[in-house]
Amino acid sequence: MSANEQTLVMIKPDGVKRHLIGQIIQRFENKGLIIKEMKTTTLSNELVAEHYAHLVQKDFFHEVSDFMTSGPSVLMILEGDNVVEMVRTLIGVTNVVKAAPGTIRGDFGNAAVYHENVIHASDSIEAAQTEIKRFFS
């Protein structure tokens, strides 16, 4: 844990299409986190397969891949004290049906479509380093 710890956050295509970018970024700024880099891009199938390598064998992977490549995502590097853990807490658990109210997934996720959970954030410091390289170099 350090004051300049960094994490990778992605507002997924559902969040962009639903015009949630501003509201989501507001939550990070409210907590004092710094946006070090930010860009909009549409992910390729290859990049999604690399990013979600742990899911490639799952029967639902094609749905995740179609969704993640369906339009632009917003990628950002956030910096702050204990940022990896803090941002995972702010976004809520993967399944939006179980995500607590007050979290980003709990407040904005689509309970009718599992993969439409609005946002991704790195789940460990090691993952953050890998994902920052993946999307920003």
> If binding is defined by CB under 6 A, does position 85 make contact with ligand ADP?
no
Distance in angstroms (rounded) separating the CA atoms of residues 98 and 44 = 29
> If binding is defined by CB under 6 A, does position 123 make contact with ligand ADP?
yes
Residues 31-70 contacting ligand ADP, CB under 6 A: 52, 55, 60, 64
> If binding is defined by CB under 6 A, does position 115 make contact with ligand ADP?
yes
Give the pair of three-digit tokens for residue 53. 């390598």
DSSP 69-103: TSS-EEEEEEESTTHHHHHHHHH--SSTTTSPBTB
Binding footprint of ligand ADP, residue count (CB under 6 A): 10
Q: Which residues bind ligand ADP (CB under 6 A)?
A: 52, 55, 60, 64, 94, 114-115, 117, 120, 123
